[in-house]
Chains A and B, each alone.
Chain A
């Protein structure tokens, strides 16, 4: 007896399945499910825009309403990916503009977007709602003007940390007076001023505005005006948080914050004048997210703020918080889930800032719900790491950056292998890990043995030999993203684990010990991988197999070698190295 549900029923069932991973699983159950699922998929997430072509996506998923793409490798954030590398959104937007007239959402990260593309977006989609450009570049406020002018139903415009060429602050005025659907606006990355009157009018006619992140140039004196127009805000990013000594500004601000009963998240706080901090004390008890990572405030100011926020779940802060502030955090914020502590001075420890491993240990002790940590510091010990691991086995993300490369345990002068080993052993659900400090191959043995749920691993200045890399590639079963810099890992480990690379999204290796010859072999053995070698100095001789490569980027793809590489990138293609 052939049993099957009608297509419409299955489609209806599938409509409740929204996560990409679940959808992918559904699609491989059987052929008919594949066909039904693909026709009703509404959201597509593509973690590496070169892993697939726009044409392939469009052919498989004809009814998409939301697309999310990522372009450059993560290390692009740290200037390791040279100019012109790629990640162009142009061809994607071009093809989508023709194939998806009902597309509503585009989210791009680490991609190059042009004004022409933005204009195309603004005119091609009848019901366009969401544009998120995170860490993108290549466009100016002219492109934003087009979006503003033409997207009548726009709900969200988020320019998170993008590099925007500012030609004028006028683009905001291009939102027509009839435009009232805005729910979220993030312009915090814009360098120059926007027209405040246009901004004010926009906020005033957007009753659904929930998120507003201003740029630094919006003066504090004007913030209260905006807050009065939008007391329904849930997330606010301030501009510069100083205004000379102005009691009228202070009282207006204080009053405005009192009116914001829904506010749950605060950010911005550029250039903070501590005397204005009490103005927002009235919202602290409701805050779940606080981003003070651009504010150079110290104790007692910062400790006071934290002690007023018992419901805090997410805190981003500079190392000015010091151990004392973190102790206060551990006492006051029992619901804390995520902590990020950024360095204020990037190279040398500031003698006035006492942030050590103790602060993190305190938080790990006091905050039982802590899951995600990003911590920059100057010293660490194995015993501290072991304590943290035992305190918080529920950690899912642990990123530690000891600022000086190869710093050993400051107490015992030993490598930090056993410390990180304890982390991976106790934190069984760890999916993201970044290593630093002095580390030998042993730490990788621990990682390969215990970190079975690891999805992303970042390694720098660590390890002794290929054995280290081999442990990771052979042991971490579901590893998807591996990025390595300045480690003595090379050909042997890479070639012993070629099959693994096809199960991963990508591998980045820079300043390691991989040779051209190995890259050619890898490419020959694994035709489904793109093996890209960077040669910025122009010293690479592709015929000389023993030549070491500066940067290697390997990723799986069904789209073949890409055609938009700059001149300094070679693709290893079956028999030889090719430049486009």
Chain B
């Protein structure tokens, strides 16, 4: 059986090809949104060609026009649908990773095909990134490490209004006493010092600069053990 299949293919017979082929030709002017959405639905379902081949009923419900003169396609009715939502839903489970632009509101939910239009992800990310205001309303998460702790934590600096609030939260998180360094009193009764890495990559002591400046320049936090915090007299 394999041999006959092979020879039929090699002879260029279209018989085998036709039984497998099930690609309705959609030719319709993009006069309304429904028809243009249909064409992209077609391509979504095409990408799962196996299911498509097997399920001829699916094909029968497809709304499309056949190309005049092609007689190997079944006649199809063209109906303008008034339920665009239905066609969208049928398309969506078969889609690959969708590439929705979250930050842009579109008038209608457009079915999206994987990898189309052919724009590099680098560019897509850059364009989408433009629409999102950096660091505003989306939190400012920084990593917090504590010497000796097996895991790091992340905190949102936007949540706090002052150093005091931050320190309190850190102390609770790591069950330790940090406190703020004070020129006169040193670290009152604490064995840890809070440091942070700023934009230039330098490690600074928490508390020197105004709170707002700290929030914008802090990249990550590190709670050092007392013995490592040189010059702090712990």
* Partner-B contacts on A (CB < 8 A): 75, 77-80, 135, 161, 168-170, 173, 189, 193, 195-198, 270-271, 293-294, 296, 342-348, 376, 401, 403-408, 410, 413, 415, 434, 438, 440, 458, 460-461, 464-466, 485-486, 488, 490-492, 495-496, 510-511, 513, 515, 517-518, 521, 537, 539, 545-548, 550
How long is the Cα–Cα vector from A405 to B113 in the complex, in angstroms? 10
Within 8 A of A (CB), among B12-44: 12-14, 16-17, 20-21, 23, 25-27, 29-30, 36, 39-40, 43
Say yes or no: B130 contacts A342, CB within 8 Å: no
How long is the Cα–Cα vector from A513 to B21 in the complex, in angstroms? 7
B154 within 8 A of A: no
Say yes or no: A492 contacts B12, CB within 8 Å: yes
**In the assembled complex, which residues on chain A have CB atoms less than 8 Å from the CB atom of B112?**
347
Say yes or no: B17 contacts A496, CB within 8 Å: no
Between B13, B67, B106, B113, the greatest number of chain A beta carbons within 10 A of the residue's beta carbon is seen for B113
Residue of A nearest to B127 (CB): A344
**In the assembled complex, which residues on chain A have CB atoms less than 8 Å from the CB atom of B29?**
408, 413
How long is the Cα–Cα vector from A492 to B19 in the complex, in angstroms? 13
**In the assembled complex, which residues on chain B have CB atoms less than 8 Å from the CB atom of A293?**
123
**In the assembled complex, which residues on chain B have CB atoms less than 8 Å from the CB atom of A405?**
39-40, 43, 113, 116
Say yes or no: A78 contacts B43, CB within 8 Å: no
Instruction: Give the shortest distance, in Å, between B164 (CB) and chain A (any CB).
Output: 28
* 8 sampled A-B residue pairs with Cβ under 8 A: A78-B116, A78-B119, A135-B122, A270-B130, A486-B113, A492-B14, A492-B17, A546-B20
Between B9, B14, B118, the greatest number of chain A beta carbons within 10 A of the residue's beta carbon is seen for B118
Say yes or no: A517 contacts B117, CB within 8 Å: no
Say yes or no: A346 contacts B124, CB within 8 Å: yes
Residue of B nearest to A296 (CB): B130
Which residue in B48, B101, B108, B126 is a CB contact (below 8 Å) of A270? B126
**In the assembled complex, which residues on chain B have CB atoms less than 8 Å from the CB atom of A79?**
96-97, 99, 114-115, 121
Instruction: Give the shortest distance, in Å, between A540 (CB) and chain B (any CB).
Output: 9
How long is the Cα–Cα vector from A489 to B121 in the complex, in angstroms? 27
**In the assembled complex, which residues on chain A have CB atoms less than 8 Å from the CB atom of B101?**
345-347
Residue of A nearest to B112 (CB): A347
How long is the Cα–Cα vector from A465 to B101 in the complex, in angstroms? 35
Residue of B nearest to A539 (CB): B50
Within 8 A of A (CB), among B186-222: 199-201
Say yes or no: B30 contacts A403, CB within 8 Å: no
Say yes or no: A486 contacts B17, CB within 8 Å: no
Say yes or no: A464 contacts B67, CB within 8 Å: yes
Say yes or no: B130 contacts A346, CB within 8 Å: no
**In the assembled complex, which residues on chain B have CB atoms less than 8 Å from the CB atom of A401?**
117-118
**In the assembled complex, which residues on chain B have CB atoms less than 8 Å from the CB atom of A407?**
30, 36
How long is the Cα–Cα vector from A118 to B4 in the complex, in angstroms? 53
**In the assembled complex, which residues on chain A have CB atoms less than 8 Å from the CB atom of B126?**
270, 294
Say yes or no: B16 contacts A491, CB within 8 Å: yes
How long is the Cα–Cα vector from A408 to B9 in the complex, in angstroms? 33
Say yes or no: B17 contacts A513, CB within 8 Å: yes
B2 within 8 A of A: yes
How long is the Cα–Cα vector from A453 to B200 in the complex, in angstroms? 53
B86 within 8 A of A: no
Residue of B nearest to A515 (CB): B20
Which residue in A170, A343, A346, A490 is a CB contact (below 8 Å) of B201? A170
How long is the Cα–Cα vector from A440 to B70 in the complex, in angstroms? 12
- Contact of A517 with B43 at beta-carbon distance under 8 Å, contacts A79-B121, A189-B122, A346-B124 already known: no
B90 within 8 A of A: no
Which residue in A345, A406, A496 is a CB contact (below 8 Å) of B39? A406
Instruction: Give the shortest distance, in Å, between B167 (CB) and chain A (any CB).
Output: 25
B153 within 8 A of A: no
**In the assembled complex, which residues on chain A have CB atoms less than 8 Å from the CB atom of B201?**
168-170, 173, 195, 198
B47 within 8 A of A: yes
How long is the Cα–Cα vector from A488 to B17 in the complex, in angstroms? 10
How long is the Cα–Cα vector from A344 to B131 in the complex, in angstroms? 11
